[in-house]
């Protein structure tokens, strides 16, 4: 698996804009959770939050209402350990207070080691899973696919 890494993207829509007082429970955790992710075993890369917000704006989306995340990990297992542990798990458990659960969507896909996916790539993979369900090109924790073989 050293030749491939796992990219992931997720998106959900806030019940209120992120500057609304009811979203403080979420927004007050964002930097700490991002810092934990970047120190987590198996973490490889993520664009800055500012970059992702700029990209969403450029693409005609609302970064003050849509929470979008993009990152790269060494493996499904390392992403799982971070996602379902510690402060991140606490936030996941509370997410229905801040986000409409019907809008939550996540995707994972294999990328060549060293590739840094774009926001457009992440949004396209999310759209693929929304339209077709999990496939080798975009999958979820519930239905995973192995890294491609090198020829």
Per the domain annotation, does 82 fall within a domain? Answer: yes
Per the domain annotation, does 17 fall within a domain? Answer: yes
User: Which residue segment(s) compose the domain that 42 sits in?
Assistant: 4-132
pTM for this one? 0.92
**Residue 151 pLDDT > 80, yes or no?**
no
Tell me which DSSP letter residue 150 carries: P
Q: pLDDT tens digits, residue range 97-122?
A: 999 999 999 999 999 999 999 999 99
Per the domain annotation, does 142 fall within a domain? Answer: no
Per the domain annotation, does 126 fall within a domain? Answer: yes
What are the distances in angstroms from CA 86 to CA 20, 57, 70, 91, 103? Answer: 26, 31, 19, 9, 24
Task: Tell me which residue of 8, 47, 49 sits closest to 27, measured CA to CA.
Answer: 49
Say how many domains are in the chain. 1
Q: pLDDT tens digits, residue range 24-40?
A: 999 998 899 999 999 99
Query: What is the average pLDDT across 39-45?
Result: 96
Q: What is the pLDDT of residue 150?
A: 58
Per the domain annotation, does 137 fall within a domain? Answer: no
Per the domain annotation, does 140 fall within a domain? Answer: no
Query: What is the average pLDDT across 78-99?
Result: 86
| Between residues 2 and 78, the one the model is more confident about | 78
């Amino acid at each position: 698996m050293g030749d491939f890494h796992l990219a992931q993207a997720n998106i959900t829509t806030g019940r209120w804009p992120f500057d609304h007082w009811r979203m403080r429970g979420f927004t007050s955790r964002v930097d700490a959770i991002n810092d934990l992710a970047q120190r987590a075993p198996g973490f490889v890369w993520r664009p800055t939050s500012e970059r992702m917000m700029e990209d969403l704006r450029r693409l005609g989306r609302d970064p003050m209402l849509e929470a979008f995340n993009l990152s790269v990990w060494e493996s499904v297992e390392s992403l799982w350990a971070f996602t379902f542990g510690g402060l991140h798990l606490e936030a996941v458990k509370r997410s229905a207070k801040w986000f409409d659960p019907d809008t939550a969507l996540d995707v994972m896909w294999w990328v060549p080691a060293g590739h840094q996916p774009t926001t457009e790539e992440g949004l396209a993979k999310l759209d693929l899973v929304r339209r077709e369900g999990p496939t080798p090109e975009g999958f979820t924790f519930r239905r995973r696919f192995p890294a491609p073989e090198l020829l």
